[in-house]
Structures are given as C-alpha cells and as structure tokens.
Amino acid sequence: MEKSSGRGSSCWSVTVLKCNISLPYIVCLLIKLWLILPCSLSSQLYEKSTHFLLELIQNADDNTYDCPRPTLSFSYKPGSLRIDCNEVGFSAENVEAICAISRSTKSGKTSDGEYIGEKGIGFKSVFKAADVVWISSRDFTFKFDKTKFLGMVAPVWEAFPEPTQPGCTSIYLQLSKGYEEDTLIHELLTFDTNLLIFLRRVEEINIRVNRRDEQVWEKKIRKDESQQGADRLTVLYANEEISRYLIRTHIIKDLPKELKRPNWPQTKILLAFPITEPQKPLPLTPQNVYAFLPIRNYGLKGDFLLTASREDIESTLPWNRTIRDALADAFLLSIDHFNQGQLRYVWPYYLPSASTATCSFLEPAITSILAKLRESDVLESCAETMVKASSLKHVPLDPFVDGEGVPFTLNTHTAAGYLSLKYPAWAIEATSSIGVSQLSPREFLGDLHSAIKRDPTTFRTKSATWHSQLAQTLVKISTDVELISLIQDICLIPLHDGNWSSAKGQSLFFSKSKTSLEVPSGIEVLIVDSIAESDPHRCRLFTNLGVKAWEAPEICRLVLKVHDSSDFDPNRPDHLPCCISLQSFMAAS
C-alpha cells in the first residue's frame, strides 16, 4: 500500500488505479462488499459496547516496542476517547490489515501462543462505540467514518484532530450519538488492574477521565517483574495500592489438531497466585480467567479459543477441553511446589470452589482438582507430617484453644489428627472442600477425656490461668444437656484433699459455706479445692456440673438419704451422729 497525502482521498484509490481491472468489475465488487459487509461485521462485533477497550489492549500487547517501558494510555472526555501507545508504529502491512475483514497480521505467528491476536475483527469493535475513528502512526494519518459508504474498511487520509505525541501510535474515537458514555466511564473507572499481569509486553496503563462536571479522575497502573527460581514475581502498582502475584507456568503437549492453531506442538497455562506478607490476609477479590481477554472468575490464562463474540470460551472444541483438563495437573504441581516454600501454609486460599464457579466449562477441572487433592498428602498436621485432608481436624480458635492459641487437647496422641496451627485462619476455611472437618464439641470432649485418662499429671499441673480458660470453654458448651453429661464424666474437679474427681454420681460441695455447720460423721461427701473454686470461671463450671453449696438443706438431704438406706441402723455407733445431726440441722434451718 502506498501513502496518499491528499486530504480526503481513499487509501484504496492508489491500489485500484494501478490494477488493470475494468471499471464495471470494480463497481460490481464494491456493491457486493456493500451488501455483505454489514452482515459480516454484525456477526463478529461484540455484544458489549465497551469490549473494544480489551481489544485495543490486546492489540497493544501484540505490538513491537523499542522503549524501556511499553505504555498504553486512555483519555476520555465527553464525546471522545483517545488512545496512545508508544509502540514502534504502523507498517503498510498493518494499515492493510486494519482495513480488512477477518484478517490480521498477528494470527499464527508462533507455535505456543506468542501472539494473543486471532482475527482482524478486533479493531473493528471500536465501531460499537464510535462513528469516526482517526489513527496516527509514524507517517500514516487517516480516518474511518462509519457513516460513509464502506467507511469501516476504506480509510481516508486525514490529519489527526489533536496534537500527536512523537514516537506514539494514537487513536481518536468520536463517540456515536446515543452511545451510553456512562457505561464507558464506568468501565474505565473500574478497570481490572489484574489484566496487566498476563500482558506480555505492555507494562503500564494510564487512564484519565474528564467528567462533564469538570472533575478529573486518573489512574496509573504499572507492573514490575522479576524471576524467583522457576516462578515469576509480578508486582502491580495502581496509584497507591500494591499487589503481588506469583506466576506459575505449565506446558501442555499432545494437543489435538485445530485449524486455528496449525502445527502447534505445545501451549501453556499461566496461573497467577496473589501473595502477601506472612499472616496478613490476602485480598478477597475474584480473579479472572484470561484466554486472550478476561472472561470469567479465576486466576488463569490459557490459549482458549473463544466464541464468535470473543466474550466466552468455545466449550465444544477438543482444543479447549485439552487445556481445561490440564488445569488440574497444573494446579496440583503448583501446590506441590508451594509446599516446599513460603506459600506452604497459605495455598488453601487458592482452592477453587465448585459452588461458586461462574463458568460451567471449567467446573470439570475444579471437580478434578478437589478430587485429586483429597487423595493426596498435601496438608501438614500438628505432628509436622504431610497427610490427607480427610484425616485432619481443624480446631477452631473459639472456643477450643487457650490464650496462646494452642488447643486444650493438643498432645502427642492428637497431634497427627489436628491441622497444623501454622495455617492462618483466613486460609483454613477452604480446606473443608478437600476433606478437613472442624472439631466438634463432642469430639473435643472425647479428646479431653482421653488426654486426662492417659496423662492426668500433665493435666493437673497446668497453670491456674490455663484451667480458668478451659473452664470458660466448657461453660460455653455446657448449655447442651447431652454435652453436660459428657463433661460430668471427665475427672477435672480438684478436691481439698489433693485428689481429683468427676461430677457424675458424686456428692460434691464447695468448701466455703455461709453457715458454721460441719459434716456429720457417716456422711460421705467430696469438698472442692478452695483455690480452684475461688476462680469465677471454674466456680461457674463446677456449679453447672452439680457442685452444691454446703448448706443445711443439703446436709439434711444427705442425712435423710442415709436414713432411707436399707442398711441404716440407729443403734450403730457410726449411724448415731446422723440422727443427732438431723435434729440439729432441722432446728437450725
């Protein structure tokens, strides 16, 4: 193609005049183009009126750069949108491609997805928003006018409507009348920062919005990348916000034949995992699937072939299914890798959820990931062994741990069955999807009972503070009648004589009493240790378990119980005090 300097002359004019083609033939050809062009473009342009933004970003990422930081800029003002990119600029071939229908200079350039472009229709998406489009790149300056005959494919040489920037390709969109500019403004204001992660060349995107009320909003997004072993660390800066991602690459071979990917021996999946400082919660923001463009929620980029609208994955293609099926292996290999390094205890946060999947096409991959993880030794126990998730219990911080965050029931016998305490709370919830269950109150009491029976000395020599904290926990769960019965079976009440007792089947009394009454001989009662009962939490627990205050009515009840027994004999010396005591207690009461 040759450049024409005449304002308003068609780029096609030079080529047509040089061809030895009769005028009637040319007229016939133009009529056919005029008839089929609207149908062709309407079938390929995207439903979403702002989709062209992503197409322009895609095109920019496919460009060639000779500058330190490839940058793309969007600048909106009422009625127009300007795009500037510091690429090397258009060649004649690029101009011809941008004029063509379903043609691109990018498609099929490499065998492993080097270019994400797929068809020349990408640029045409701007006509969803604009009537007139100007382009300035190197020595080329021309425009497309949708309102003119063949105006979407036949450019006209014309000066750019605004001052241009040296060394930049600039595009100026005159937005269509009736176009919902508020939708465009919203897309610019809510631009997905994470999109920059998967762009190969563009390192910075600048957005400026000039509102009708003269307010100006600006956002500068840039990324820095470094290599950490086999991983790529990407740091995103969005104004004052900083996000970090670890990028994992998985190669896929044995690909099915695909006409749009001829002779491709392999492709790859990129997984982006957000990372943060230790023990600091990760941001609970959805991640997207990036095929060529963001289409669904999840931190993945694969060379998926898209539907005609380029807004979703073509689910029936064997090519796409092969990539999807490889996702499970890619994810599991990443987990194995994380278990050897700094993400050992936070990776459960990355687990996909089948219940929240927004892309039905990826559901089989999610199901496969969870199923394979259930069968793998991927989680660490408190015994520092790697085991299956189904063999682990998560001990909730409230109420089954002491003031230092250690489970009351953690010991050498339970450690292998408890999820390691090194997993942060915000990363644990997702482990239920692969089999980790939460320790129930019944299980907690069972472990506590067993621990005391196996090693009563360790239990009894715990600090007073520890016992007070345990009492608070037991009080919380003693609202259930069945659980109270289980607690009553546990030997956890210290007595004044140095022994310990359970509450079930025992006559237990507090050592302190409002009266000066003494226990008559012949009455067998257990008195709680005075120091233990002075703690308000332990005192409340003992009360819930049936420990009574030492008062006259209780003494009378016990004396009467002795009297009612079949072996009671008032003439026996050891039973005589009961008779005397009963009379005196009744008089005192």
Q: What is the pLDDT of residues 411-420, one digit of tens each?
A: 999 999 999 9
Q: What is the mean pLDDT of residues 237-258?
A: 92
**Predicted confidence band of residue 230 (pLDDT cuts 50, 70, 90):** confident
Spatial CA neighbour of 120 closest among 88, 152, 149, 151: 152
Q: What distance in Å separates the CA atoms of residue 508 and residue 426, rounded to the nearest whole number?
A: 44
The yes-or-no verdict on residue 38 having pLDDT over 50 is: no
**547 vs 283, residue with greater confidence:** 547
Q: What is the mean pLDDT of residues 432-460?
A: 97
Rounded CA separation 120/399 (Å): 61
Whether the predicted pLDDT of 43 surpasses 80: no
Residue bearing the bigger pLDDT, 518 or 91: 91
Mean pLDDT for the stretch of residues 24-47: 46
**Maximum alpha-carbon separation in the chain:** 141
Of 572 and 124, which is predicted with more confidence?
A: 124
Q: pLDDT tens digit string along 262-271? A: 888 999 998 8
Within 13 Å and on the Cβ side, how many CA atoms surround 379?
Answer: 34
Per-residue tokens: 4:
């024409």
Region 390-401: mean pLDDT is 94
- What is the average pLDDT score of the chain? 82
Mean pLDDT of 296-314: 73
CA–CA distance from 584 to each of 322, 373, 509, 525, 549 (Å)?
91, 73, 20, 19, 19
Ranges 176-180, 391-395, 420-424, 557-561: which has the least confidence: 557-561
- Given a cut of 70, whether residue 290 has pLDDT beyond it is no
Provide mean pLDDT across the span 529-558: 86
Model pLDDT, residue 296: 40
Q: What pLDDT score does 564 carry?
A: 61
Per-residue confidence (pLDDT) for residue 517, from 0 to 100: 56
- What is the end-to-end Cα distance of the chain in Å, rounded? 117
What's the pLDDT band for 240 if we cut at 50, 70, 90? confident
* Greater model confidence, 586 or 214: 214
Token pair 């690909």 is found at 255
Structural contact between residues 323 and 253, judged by C-beta atoms closer than 8 angstroms: no
> At residue 183, does pLDDT exceed 90?
yes
Rounded distance between C-alpha atoms, residue 152 and residue 155, angstroms: 7
Q: Work out the average pLDDT over 56-67.
A: 92
Model confidence at 309: pLDDT above 90: no
Can you tell me the mean pLDDT for 391-406? 94
- The three-state secondary structure class of 141 is strand
Domains and CATH numbers, the chain: 1-226+235-239 (3.30.565.10), 466-589 (no CATH)
Q: Tell me the average pLDDT across 531-560.
A: 84
For residues 502 and 492, the answer to whether their CB atoms sit within 8 Å is: yes
Q: How confident is the model over 561-576, as a mean pLDDT?
A: 57
Q: According to the 3-state scheme, what is the secondary structure of 226-258?
A: EEECCEEEEEEEECCEEEEEEEEEEEECCCCCC
pLDDT band with cut points at 50, 70 and 90 for residue 307: confident
pLDDT band, very low/low/confident/very high, at 329 (cuts 50, 70, 90): very high
Tokens encoding 36: 């089929």
Look up residue 305 and give its amino acid.
L
Those residues with Cβ within 8 angstroms of residue 132's Cβ, 6 or more apart along the chain or in another chain? 143, 144, 145, 146, 147, 173, 174
Q: What are phi and psi of 274, to 5 degrees?
A: -65, 140
pLDDT at 123 over 80: yes
pLDDT at residue 97 in the model: 82
For residue 141, name the pLDDT band (cuts at 50, 70, 90): very high
Task: Reply yes or no on whether the pLDDT at 297 is more than 50.
Answer: no
Does residue 578 have a pLDDT over 70?
A: no
Q: Who wins on pLDDT, 14 or 426?
A: 426
Q: Using the predicted structure, report yes or no on whether residue 298 has a pLDDT greater than 70.
A: no
398 or 235: which carries more pLDDT confidence?
Answer: 235
In 3D space, the residue among 162, 92, 170, 165 whose CA is nearest the CA of residue 136 turns out to be: 170
CB 389 within 8 A of CB 427: no
Q: Which tens digits make up the pLDDT trace of 184-193?
A: 999 999 998 8
Whether 441 has a pLDDT exceeding 90, the answer reads yes
Strand partners, 148: none
Distances (CA, A) of 546 to 359, 482, 527: 57, 15, 12
More confident: 11 or 539: 539
Residue 3: which of 96, 106, 85 has the closest Cα? 96
Residue closest to 267 by CA, chosen among 317, 334, 337, 320: 320
Tokens of 388: 């299956």
Whether the bond between 399 and the residue before it is cis, its omega within 30 degrees of 0, is yes
528 by DSSP, 3-state: which? strand
pLDDT of residue 125: 85
Higher pLDDT, 568 or 168: 168
Length of the chain: 589
Q: Which two tokens stand for residue 377?
A: 């030794």
Token duo for residue 235:
């740091």
Model pLDDT, residue 121: 55
291 closest CA partner among 275, 269, 308:
269
Among 215, 386, 192, 367, CA closest to 295: 192
pLDDT computed for residue 118 by the predictor: 41
Region 424-449: mean pLDDT is: 95
